[in-house]
Amino acid sequence: MGYEIRTYGDPVLKSQSLAIENIDDKLVRLTDAMFDIMYEAPGIGLAAPQIGVQKQLFVYDIGDGADVLINPVVVESSGEWVYEEGCLSIPGLYVEMVRPKEILLKGINIDGEEVSVEADELLSRLFQHELDHLNGVLMFERMTPDQRTEALAEYRRLTESLESASGVREKSKGQEPKVIKLK
């Protein structure tokens, strides 16, 4: 259907997504397309705004099966966990960040049923990252000021070297990912 992953600089990534009011065939087809794009990337999560759709929806699969969450909200969170977070919209960059370790989310599944999901560590981090996308928040806004400066410079370097190498922007295939550490 011509969807593609939007990358940093695209204004859609800064927009607030709207709540989904009904789950119809069109929405199911959208989630199918999102899974295809996520697996091809490859990634473990993808939020609708990342393909230019301003709807409160994300898909994910950390290896325990594919799932969809619609209109997700945080009920509670606790603890702290450090993880090198990456984003399909900021390819090639991983940033060590502290966020809550455990989270409880409420939302709606693709069958329209209310669900609550408890998540720990990687799944919890994924949920928090995708929720940020639904609120127009990117990783840069979660970094320390020092990390942000370093990450922006590194991302500029990564995208410029890709553009000059091929004339067009491509995915950072074969490029060493850059990790921005917490100091």
Chain residues binding Zn ion by CB under 5 A are 87
Indicate if 160 belongs to the active site: no
- Catalytic hit among 4, 102, 114, 130: 130
User: Measured from the CB atom, is 23 or 107 closer to Zn ion?
Assistant: 107
Three-state secondary-structure class, residue 40: helix
Query: What is the separation of C-alpha 54 from the centre of its chain, rounded to a whole number of angstroms?
Result: 14
For the bound state, the minimum distance from the C-beta of residue 88 to Zn ion, rounded and expressed in Å, comes to 6
Q: How far apart are CA 68 and CA 48, in angstroms?
A: 11
Nearer to Zn ion, 48 or 87 (CB): 87
What three-state secondary structure class fits 63?
A: coil
CB 7 within 8 A of CB 92: no
Least gap, CB of 130 to Zn ion (angstroms):
7
Which residues lie closer than 8 Å to 1 by C-beta, 6 or more apart? 29, 33
**Which residue, judged by CB position, is nearest to Zn ion in the bound state?**
87
Q: Which is nearer to Zn ion, 30 or 87 (CB)?
A: 87
Q: How far is the CB of 116 from Zn ion (least distance, A)?
A: 23
Residue closer to Zn ion by CB (options 53, 87) is 87
Closest approach of Cβ 128 to Zn ion, in Å?
A: 11
Planar angle of CA 119, 6, 17, nearest 5 degrees:
60
- Please give the single-letter amino acid code of residue 163: E
Active site residues: 130
